[in-house]
Amino acid sequence: MDITLVKYIEDDFDSFKRMVSDAETMRFITGIVWTEDDARIQFDAMLQMNTQQEKLGFFKVVNQKNEFIGNCSLEYYKYDAAILEIGYVLKREFWRMGYGTAILQQLVYKANNSYPSMDVIAIIDPENEASRKLLCKNGFESYFRGMEDGKFSEKFILKNPHAD
């Protein structure tokens, strides 16, 4: 699957806004659609982070036709900077086409290349069976299921074989 991850720029806001205002797409992300103001606040924060970290950040995902198909991230885990966290969202019209696997594999490759000794985690809604299967298929193991930050979630970890 031929995809490209590109750090967001200001011109990408409309594509991002359309994605996060779709109820079905956001069902397992936040559970609610984002208003334009919510999208703007999050997008501005993503742009800010993209200027602070060269190898980490928030990326638009485009396919071989240069269509915006989703969003992904690689960042330090907020509770432990010795761990990387990945995230991904696909526009629903691109679900079940293999793009999730391609995004996950590129994020893991990027993490291993840039930070070879760090473990990688992903946090999902436990009801998101597609994400669970995707993570397990790619070597991630579930290690937490419960409440965190007021939200029920499940965490998966990919242990880095080079980690101490």
Residue 114's domain comprises 3-158
Cα–Cα distance for residue pair 64/142, rounded to 1 Å: 32
Q: In the structure, what pLDDT confidence band is assigned to residue 76 with cuts at 50, 70 and 90?
A: very high
In a domain, 151, yes or no: yes
pLDDT at residue number 129: 93
Q: What is the pLDDT of residues 24-38, one digit of tens each?
A: 888 878 878 899 999
CATH number, position 120? 3.40.630.30
- Per-residue b/e over 55-90, b at no fewer than 16 CB within 10 Å? ebbbbbbbbeeeebbbbbbbbebeeeeebbbbbbbb
Q: Span 135-154, mean pLDDT?
A: 93
In a domain, 163, yes or no: no
In a domain, 164, yes or no: no
Our count of domains for the chain comes to 1
Q: Span 89-94, mean pLDDT?
A: 94
Q: Span 79-90, mean pLDDT?
A: 95
Q: What is the pLDDT of residues 28-73, one digit of tens each?
A: 788 788 999 999 999 999 999 999 989 999 999 999 999 999 999 9
User: Percentage of residues in the chain with pLDDT exceeding 70?
Assistant: 97
Name the nearest CA neighbour of 158 among 100, 54, 92, 83.
83
